[in-house]
Amino acid sequence: DAGVTQSPTHLIKTRGQQVTLRCSPKSGHDTVSWYQQALGQGPQFIFQYYEEEERQRGNFPDRFSGHQFPNYSSELNVNALLLGDSALYLCASSLVQNGYTFGSGTRLTVV
Amino acid sequence: QKEVEQNSGPLSVPEGAIASLNCTYSDRGSQSFFWYRQYSGKSPELIMSIYSNGDKEDGRFTAQLNKASQYVSLLIRDSQPSDSATYLCAVKEGSQGNLIFGKGTKLSVKP
């Protein structure tokens, strides 16, 4: 049973560029959440997708957008990258009341 | 602003001792609580979930919840060097909400 898979694992981008990160949830999970984790900090909630709709959103600017596909996989898009967007981006999938299962993350470096 | 507070540590304990990790949360209506372990450079791994007041044991781990005091703790018995990691406390917003994380407590178990 595959867990949560994320791609790519590492990415280096230049300020002002755009990036797309991808996530496939654990089999049977229908909810996907995205988190940003800066060095030395806990994960910060970006948004959550359920039934292809954004159900909740954290305190992130509109430069951060997402999408969920009919097969429950999801994408996170970040436009106009800033140096401060450098972080580990985590995707987590879940079923309603359960805890979240995290993918291995995408390490984004903006230079 | 819903918050989850943890002592950032580092918490250092000798091998074989009990490690005690603590967490407080601000939202009195929270019902679901989780402890994640995160090794350096890796993604968070769910180790315990707790929903009711009292203790929940799983192997060497015991989670304790006191909703009246808005307090969650994690005890690790017979600590091993392999337990050295950052431990993240997370609280779920509502029944379908996102997880709010603390900044994590770094645990170091000395041989």
A95 pLDDT higher than 80: no
Confidence band of A96 (pLDDT split at 50, 70, 90): low
How far is it, in rounded angstroms, from Cα A39 to Cα B41?
10
Instruction: Indicate the burial class of B60 (C-beta count within 10 angstroms; 0-12, 13-18, 19 or more).
Output: middle
Nearest CA among B23, B45, B20, B42 for reference residue B33: B23
Task: For chain B, say whether A60 makes contact (Cβ under 8 Å).
Answer: no
- One digit per residue, the tens of pLDDT, for chain B of length 111 reads 789 999 888 999 999 999 999 999 999 989 899 999 999 999 999 999 999 999 999 999 999 999 999 999 999 999 999 999 999 999 998 766 789 999 999 999 999
Q: Is the dihedral of CA A97, A99, B101, B77 positive or negative?
A: positive
Residue-wise pLDDT tens digits, A71-81: 999 999 999 99
Nearest CA of chain B to the CA of A43: how many Å? 6
* Rounded Cα gap, residues B86 and B78, in angstroms: 17
User: Which are the contacts of A32, defined by CB distance < 8 A and separation ≥ 6?
Assistant: A23, A25, A48, A49, A50, A68, A72, A73, A74, A91, A92, A93
What band does A32 get if pLDDT is binned at 50, 70 and 90?
A: very high
Contact at CB, A42 and B42, closer than 8 angstroms: no
The pLDDT value given to residue B18: 97
User: Looking at the partner chain, which of B42, B45, B103 has a beta carbon nearest the beta carbon of A42?
Assistant: B103
Number of residues that make up chain A: 111
